[in-house]
Structure 1
Amino acid sequence: MANPSKDKGTKWESAVVAYLREHHNPTAHRNVQMGRLDIGDISGYYLHAVEAKAERTITLADYIRQANREAIHAGAPFGCAMVKRRNAGVADAYVVRDVRTDVRLMNRLRDAEEILQDVAPTVYASFEQRHREAA
């Protein structure tokens, strides 16, 4: 007999992978589960171990604890959870991490942009224009 919760999770993981392949990294993929040394549900989201969650009851603290632990196992600097939003597609789901992790990520991004701006200002200007989006 099939497990409906497992099927729902597998469908969500597959949908996230398809989205990441189209919009971020064509080599994104679902991981084989490894028990207590699990490395996250999905690989291929730059610098992250990803926990994909599609549950009726959302428990953010559990998701973040799991993502951070699995980032360590995966050797990734950051962990996050991609949480399905009810009645919405992947693009409208939530990416969740704790503030500590988010500040580390933003510091890394800031430092990288400052280096690029110092070393190659015209490349930085093009980069800034290409990635600027209205909120």
Structure 2
Amino acid sequence: MFIARFENTMRNARPKGVEPAPGKPSPAPRTEDPAVAAYRCIDVLEPRTPAREIISRVSMLHGYSFAEITGPRLEKKLVQARFDAIKAVADARLDLSLPQIGRIFNRDHTSILHALKKRGGRRPEQQGPGQQQGAAK
């Protein structure tokens, strides 16, 4: 276990409000490369459709409610609608893992995996981070 000593953590600390020595000029701002300036303009966090909204849309198309899609009933038409909703969420939200999708649907991640196999779900290149098929065990 690493234990930091107070002397080591405060060695380079400056009291608040203390400015650097006036003899040293502050570094001049660098001109940015156009590629860097363009990169900074990219909106990394695009708006994502909430999973509950996706489920509600799919459930309305099939004539069921959100509660019925996420509920325990196992009628054939309801299960088909549930599988469609699972596929829609998995395709629209690549940032969600199988266990996270399972929590939304009140199911185990293996049930989500089964639904995606039945409906032709995520392909390996579509999978989110940390979800690689065929990883070494």
- TM range, smaller chain: under 0.3
Rg: which structure is higher? 2
Instruction: Specify which structure has the higher proportion of strand.
Output: 1
Instruction: Specify which structure has the higher proportion of helix.
Output: 1
**So what's the TM-score if we normalise by structure 1?**
0.28
**So what's the TM-score if we normalise by structure 2?**
0.27
